[in-house]
């Protein structure tokens, strides 16, 4: 099988060996249009929106030809961007700020405000974060997961204890955490939003969402943690292509916000085992569609950055002790 996702050449062999991937080629692309190459997690929820874009020709309507490279991990997508194999990835702005502090001019446009939550069995005695002391909490994403760091910051600032010291932590992959709490081997889990939705559908109870944590920390804006990330210089040279993709994304989000029929079409891609899970995933995605992204939200993002930097230190932010100028691309807002 030939690998033909790069512009006019095969991907570097070392990259092909590093990750497994699937290429979704532009169907009926615009004649003569230079492809916009986007790398995403192969099975991530971003693919739902990309399917809408491709199915309805929203990229072609904007005069672009979108090529999607599905990779096996978040790290693999950042490697692909850094290697020049793709133009855009979906990741968080903390990473963007860190890269800018190192002199690499990446920049960010919001994709989703969806966030996870602390979940417990319906009959659990845990009612608040302070009830987690001494209990077994499963955490997705590792010790530098942003949701976990926000939880730590909240317990220190508002509740008078250090969650890192007083909670029995178990870091594991998101699917395994869901399995473990459903089997009764964990007292609570802090998982990503779509795994949280699956737990809600299974009857588990939400203790506190990450959005509630940020509000408790005095930040009222809904801040997207993930978005489209690309090189600023490349974007200036290809601004109409970038804007075309972002307009297509906005149109796809509008369709997903308004059309239940579109979600029915996406049902096989969502792999929802029952109606309750399907509805929880659909509704969770809709709640994460950005509604506003301007100076106020970006200032609040800077406040979140300071909390995360305080908790995660150089392992998380590197040299980027403050949110770097240019982290957010100024040419597209909600």
Mean pLDDT, residues 168-196? 98
28 in helix, strand or coil? coil
Do 235 and 289 sit in the same domain of this protein? yes
Adjacent-strand bridge partners of 71: 21, 41
Mean pLDDT, residues 52-68? 96
Do 108 and 17 sit in the same domain of this protein? yes
User: How far apart, in Å, are the Cα atoms of 289 and each of 31, 140, 144, 246?
Assistant: 32, 22, 25, 13
User: How far apart, in Å, are the Cα atoms of 4 and each of 36, 63, 262?
Assistant: 14, 22, 30
CATH of the domain at 153: 3.40.190.10
Pick from 183, 200, 216: which residue ends a domain?
216
Contacts with 330 (C-beta within 8 Å, 6 or more apart), sequence order? none
Q: In degrees rounded to 5, what are phi and psi of residue 162?
A: -100, 110
Q: Print the domain residue range for 273.
A: 13-114+224-317
For the segment 191-215, what is each residue's pLDDT rounded down to a tens digit? 999 999 999 999 999 999 999 999 9
* Residue 325, domain member (yes or no): no
Do 181 and 262 sit in the same domain of this protein? no
How many residues are there in the chain? 334
Q: Based on the structure, what is the number of domains in the chain?
A: 2
Do 110 and 121 sit in the same domain of this protein? no
For the segment 136-149, what is each residue's pLDDT rounded down to a tens digit? 999 998 999 999 99
* Residue 168, domain member (yes or no): yes
Do 197 and 252 sit in the same domain of this protein? no
* Residue 75, domain member (yes or no): yes
Contacts with 91 (C-beta within 8 Å, 6 or more apart), sequence order? 74, 77, 78, 226, 227, 229
pLDDT at 29: 47
**What tokens were used for 49?**
């929106």
Pick from 184, 216, 248: which residue ends a domain?
216
Tokens 């993930």 sit on residue: 226
* Residue 324, domain member (yes or no): no
80 in helix, strand or coil? helix
For the segment 297-312, what is each residue's pLDDT rounded down to a tens digit? 999 999 999 999 999 9
Do 37 and 106 sit in the same domain of this protein? yes
* Angle between helix 93-101 and helix 295-317 axes, rounded to 10 deg: 70
**What tokens were used for 224?**
């997207």
Give the integer Cα–Cα distance in Å for 19 and 246: 27
**What tokens were used for 31?**
């004649």
**What tokens were used for 259?**
């059309």
Do 212 and 234 sit in the same domain of this protein? no
pLDDT at 7: 41
Phi-psi region of 39 (alpha: psi -120 to 50; beta: other; left: phi over 0): beta
| Measured CA angle at 16 (ends 13, 22), to 5 deg | 145
For the segment 252-306, what is each residue's pLDDT rounded down to a tens digit? 999 999 999 999 999 999 999 999 999 999 999 999 999 999 999 999 999 999 9
Pick from 187, 216, 245: which residue ends a domain?
216
Give the integer Cα–Cα distance in Å for 30 and 34: 9
> Is the pTM for the entire model greater than 0.75?
yes
DSSP H or E segment with residue 177: helix 174-182
Contact 152, 313 (CB under 8 A): no
Give the integer Cα–Cα distance in Å for 185 and 180: 5
For the segment 8-59, what is each residue's pLDDT rounded down to a tens digit? 333 443 344 344 434 443 334 455 567 899 999 999 999 999 999 999 999 9
């Amino acid at each position: 099988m030939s690998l033909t996702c790069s512009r006019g050449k095969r991907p570097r062999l070392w990259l092909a060996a590093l990750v497994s991937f699937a290429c979704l080629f532009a169907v009926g692309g615009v004649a003569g249009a230079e492809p916009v190459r986007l790398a995403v997690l192969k099975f991530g929820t971003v693919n739902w929106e990309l399917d809408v874009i491709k199915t309805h020709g929203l990229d072609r309507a904007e005069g672009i030809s979108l090529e999607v490279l599905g990779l096996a991990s978040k790290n693999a997508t950042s490697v692909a961007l850094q290697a020049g194999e793709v133009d855009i990835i979906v990741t968080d702005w903390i990473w963007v700020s860190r890269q800018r502090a190192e002199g690499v001019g990446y920049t960010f446009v919001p994709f989703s405000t969806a966030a996870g939550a602390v979940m417990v069995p319906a009959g659990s005695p845990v009612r608040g974060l302070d009830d987690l002391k001494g209990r077994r909490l499963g955490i997705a994403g590792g010790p530098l997961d942003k949701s976990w760091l926000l939880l730590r910051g909240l317990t220190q600032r508002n509740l008078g204890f250090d969650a890192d010291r007083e909670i029995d932590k178990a870091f594991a992959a998101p699917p395994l955490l869901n399995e473990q709490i459903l089997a009764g081997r964990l007292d609570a889990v802090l998982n990503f939003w779509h795994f949280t939705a699956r737990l809600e559908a299974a009857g588990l109870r939400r203790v506190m969402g990450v959005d509630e944590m940020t509000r408790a920390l005095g930040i009222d804006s809904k801040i997207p943690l993930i978005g489209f990330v690309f090189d600023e210089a490349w974007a200036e040279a290809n601004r109409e292509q970038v804007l075309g993709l972002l307009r297509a994304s906005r149109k796809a989000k509008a369709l997903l916000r308004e059309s239940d029929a579109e979600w029915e079409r996406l049902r096989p891609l969502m792999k929802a085992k029952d109606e309750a899970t399907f509805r929880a995933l659909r509704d969770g995605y809709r709640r994460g569609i950005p509604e506003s992204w301007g100076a106020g939200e970006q200032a609040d993002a800077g406040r979140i950055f300071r909390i995360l930097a305080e908790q995660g230190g150089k392992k998380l932010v590197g040299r980027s002790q403050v949110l770097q100028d240019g982290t957010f691309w100024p040419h597209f807002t909600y």
